[in-house]
Amino acid sequence: MDMTFELPDRTFIGGKETSLTLREIIRRLETVYCGSIGIEYMHMYDIDAVTFLREKIEKPDAFDITHEHKRVIMRRLIKSVLLEKYFAVKWPADKRFSLEGGESMIVMLEEIVDTSTQLGVHSIVMAMQHRGRLNVMVNVGRKQLVDVFAQFKHIEPKDSFSGDVKDHLGTYIHRIIRHTYKYIKVSMSPNPYHLEVSAPVVCGKVRAEQFWRGDSHGDKVMAIIVHGDAAMCGQGIVYETFSLSNLPAFTTHGAIHIICNNQIGYTTDPRFSRSSPYCSDIAKMIDAPVLHVNGDDAEAVAYAARVAIEFRCKFKKDIILDLVCYRRHGHSSEDEPMFTQPFMYKKIRTLKTVDLIYADKLKAEGMATDADIEGWQKEYKDTLIKHFELAKKVAKLTITDWIDTPWTGFFESVDPNKIKETGIPLKSINTIANHFTTPPEPWAFEIHKGVARILKNREKMVKDGIADWPMGEALAYGSLLRDNVHIRFTGEDVERGTMAHRHHVYHHQGVDGATFRVLDTLYPDQARYDLHNSSLSEFVAGTSGTQPAHDILILFARIHQGYQPNIP
């Protein structure tokens, strides 16, 4: 055990040392791989990505953390824990889908937000299911407590918009991060009862926002998707969303997936809800690394989050954070879990909350005193009481305060009683039609002889003043592009058309992979025409909400069974 061995280049456990005793090698490996973080990367093909992860996890000083950072983590835990307790005291019979048992998720998300601003991210779009949603909206989305408390009151909305239950609503905010003094937009999309539906919607929103910002590499806009452990492996839409992640026309250049793994799905044990060892195993299909982290170890949670955001920003790939925690109460917070999981909940009721666990650690290290912790608790309790009293004065709910993507001025400037003129000049019709029927020069691009015949027939139609369906399509799209309206058209066979009728993309018959996109060169200053074949799932619902006045989205969904819910 005390024999010295040279360390290979592919390990980082030695730090600056090039050799260690076998005893020390085993000790360091156990510290790295048998502690609060478990990492899966052996399935990955990207050697650079694997090396990056190993260095982040194996280097001897990897988990070092500053005195100030520890105190920040402590305060975040206090806010997360006390907010849930306040909900429970004030509204014990309401459904609130408590985060209790997984409160360190707030530490995880806040660490991602903080670090992302250091790495150049300007906007984060979040999808999240019901568990802990209210807590995240307050402590990450910075939703005003008075607005959240008012949602527990049974009062009418003052807006003409439709509403929803409080744990389905969305929000957005432009935050300034105190640690970096940089602004970032954080938005959370609405969450319907259909589990995981918001995940692909958010991917579509991120893709659209990247387009409008000119963010072609995903440096400025990114997605965070929070899953439940049962839904992660039980909902097919998760697979569909993952399958789009590396497709050129659908990638968001990496999303961070967080699993709130409370090790139960409603009342179903994991052994009855999945066939794989881990709920995160589906992510391996896209070569994504997985970091499993103990939710009761706040510092490990923060470090795993920092590794995840650094990995995403460097490699532009998806990464999974599996927050292994528990659910302190029943599914809806007010139901009785002992009916179905008696032994699990006997154990859970003996566990200390994560804020108390971390407080004991800081006090033992001399990083905080009882007075510090009691002061932070009192400060936040006073804030909760203050906003509770303010919420009593709210007479009507403002639904527009809960919109994740405000369409400022979009509805106000439109008179529903007036219909705008939709026709286009004859000159524009002739320009588009002539362009659409003219093949590329034969010496430059060899098209299929069948396509050449189709173009000849289209040319005759133009001369005769006739327009069939394909010609009508081309005129419609061309006029929009002329008016600087961006078009995104996706589907499994949209480039050619299911009935071989469209032919907006020609394929060179002598050069493999060479294409000619007909409507891309219609006008020198036209809008972009994003026409893409796809898998059987497409981006529509998410992308449609970003720039409604300047965006037209078309979907061909003949085979798509889920239709809008499954469409990012």
For residues 354 and 278, give the distance between their C-alpha atoms in angstroms, rounded to a whole number.
23
The alpha carbon of 266 is separated from its chain's Cα centroid by a whole number of angstroms, namely 23
What does the pLDDT read at residue 535? Answer: 83
Contact predicate 180/118, CB 8 Å: yes
pLDDT at residue 4, as a whole number: 86
DSSP, collapsed to helix, strand or coil, labels residue 201 as helix
* CATH no. for 426-566: 3.40.50.12470
Instruction: Give pLDDT, residue 161.
Output: 62
Q: Which CATH class is domain 67-401?
A: alpha beta
For residue 96, what pLDDT is reported?
Answer: 84
pTM of the entire structure?
A: 0.92
Q: How far apart are CA 552 and CA 444, in angstroms?
A: 32
Q: Over the range 402-424, which residues count as b (16 or more CB within 10 Å of their CB) and which as e?
A: bbbbeeeeeeeeeeeeeeeeeeb
Per-residue pLDDT in tens (0 to 9) along the chain, 568 residues: 888 888 888 888 888 888 888 898 899 889 899 999 999 999 999 999 999 999 999 999 888 999 999 999 999 999 999 999 999 999 888 888 899 999 999 999 999 999 999 999 999 999 998 899 999 999 999 999 998 898 888 777 766 666 667 777 888 889 999 888 899 999 998 887 778 888 998 999 999 999 999 999 999 999 999 999 999 989 888 999 999 999 999 999 999 999 999 999 888 888 898 999 999 999 999 999 999 999 999 999 999 999 999 999 999 999 999 999 999 988 877 788 889 989 999 999 999 999 999 999 999 999 999 999 999 999 999 999 999 999 998 887 777 777 777 666 666 667 767 777 778 899 999 999 999 999 999 899 999 999 999 999 999 988 998 889 999 999 999 999 999 989 988 888 889 988 888 999 999 999 999 999 999 999 999 999 999 988 877 767 777 777 766 666 666 555 444 444 444 4
**CA 97/CA 104 separation, integer angstroms:** 16
Helical ranges in 42-104 per DSSP H: 47-58, 67-90
* Equal CATH topology for 67-401 and 426-566: yes
**Cβ partners under 8 Å of residue 287, min gap 6:** 43, 44, 45, 46, 317
Task: List the structure tokens of 40.
Answer: 């899966």
pLDDT of residue 413: 67
Question: What does the alpha-carbon distance between residue 161 and residue 42 come to, in Å, rounded to a whole number?
Answer: 50
Confidence at residue 404, expressed as pLDDT on a 0 to 100 scale: 72
Could you tell me the residue ranges of all domains in the chain?
1-34, 67-401, 426-566
pLDDT score, position 560: 47
Structure tokens at 564: 């809008």
Predicted confidence at residue 411, as pLDDT, reads 65
List, in sequence order, every residue forming a beta bridge with 39; answer none if it has no partner: 291
